[in-house]
Chains A and B, each alone.
Chain A
Amino acid sequence: MAQTRRLRLPPREELLFRTLLILGIIVGLIIAALPFLWMAVSSLGTAGMVIRIGFTWDMFNPLNWSLEPYVVAWKMASISKYIRTTTIYAVAVTVLATTTSSLAGYVFGRLRFPARDFLFGLVLATMMIPGSVTFLPLFILMLRLPLLGGNDIFGAGGHGLYNSYAGLILPNVVSASSIFLFRQFFRTLPKDLEDAARIDGCSEPMIWLRVIMPLSGPVVTVVALFQFQGSWNAFVWPLVMSSSERLYTISVGMYSLAYGSGSLTSMAELFQSVLLAGSVMAVLPILILFIAFQRQFVQGIALTGLK
């Protein structure tokens, strides 16, 4: 049946439909990819060329490309510092949040204990509270934590965890949606898996580590990827939590560069290319990760419905 259909010459209407379809796909591809290509090509411009001339076909000639904007961005515009901070932040958040969330997902999905449903309901309820509602009171909380960062017992006098890695990372050590995802997955594993281990005297954390986690590679990958991607791109929280350049993540650093609070304003000739070079470097790690783990990213979206 399918064979005969394929052998039959497509009628006029079918041909028109296919042409439109391919055209649509190409237009979509251009819309999605053009800003990236334009950004990359413009970031390779030599001094003055990009900002004065803008678009010329010469830009696409590799002989005209220069890595000078990248050198300037990396050395003088502190991109290397931002990348370092962002890496520390993103790796710490990914490791901590994946661990705490999978432990909690294991407990909620497979153990029985009093108040389980209430506590899990609480976790679900926190999923609807977004960071844009909490970042201000959270900032005050971190600033006024008692006995930390020079604060007295009433939280006065010092600056608590403000402008520190601990302050950046702590509020992100767990993710409610990841707990949910882990729980859903762990519930599908057969129950007798861990009973044998339990009778042999294995403790719960050992069962989680030795029995459950080795079976959960795909879901761990999905959670870790989204944690990393989210914290790599994080903006609001690092913005309000850091006052020194040392703690700027790449997004905060790029923002400060774009609005001239960095050390770059004097080099107007290269400014645009350097900004774009910085943006390329902000996007590149995620791009590489996406190419390596595309299937997991796409599955993750289908699984969680998160955007």
Chain B
Amino acid sequence: MPHLDRRAALAVFGAALASMHADAGHAQAAPETTGAAPAPAAAPPAATGPFTLPPLPYPPDRNAPSIDAETMSLHHDKHHAAYVNNLNQAVAGHPEVAAKPLHEILANLNSVPEPIRTAVRNNAGGHANHSMFWTIMGGKGGEPTGELKQAIARDFGSFATMQEQFNAAGGKVFGSGWVFVTVTPDGKLAMVSRPNQDTPLMEGGRVLFGNDVWEHAYYLTYRNRRPDYLKAWWSVVDWGKVGERYAEAKTGKLTT
């Protein structure tokens, strides 16, 4: 619903203000100043709630120069933290939602109470997508091996073709979103893109890996040149980790 009349605006903002502006970070915890390039502050204190921000599994400069350290810090400490905080705020007072694992919430958004459904969709999606994203980077690129290599060749023709299709799909996302390679329990791969923080988990699917094409993922280094970011990103993918996710998907253990 793009349009807010005064009464609706008041209701929406009164009920869900804190949970709606994940992209803007945590308003009270974002003391950046105008014009200057602020140093990333420490992560905001963990909100009380069932969901927690996973630590970045490597130093923020691990993916440089493909992804600069400031981008990594802001992305994890501010953007991802805001999704977690806002998700915890949204589910506060809804123990039946808060008690479920993230992937079950996302696969059953229609059972989330309507007043918090949009906030849960956006912030649970953001939490899931970023939790996946950190773990599949930090590597040195190259190519997958073994069964995953064969699955990519089978389902996309070749590794190079898969990369081309992925770069094209990422370039085509208009506005904020993600491009993913999904995996079924029998190991079949497919490529999809989703707007904002939507994820294939919302259809009960599983993500093998994905790349964030929100501008905050690349603007500090690449400005408007998203295609350059998409190309450079392959050099930080950890194919060992992606291979582990592939194996987990085939044994039903992949939930993120």
Q: Do A and B bind each other?
A: no
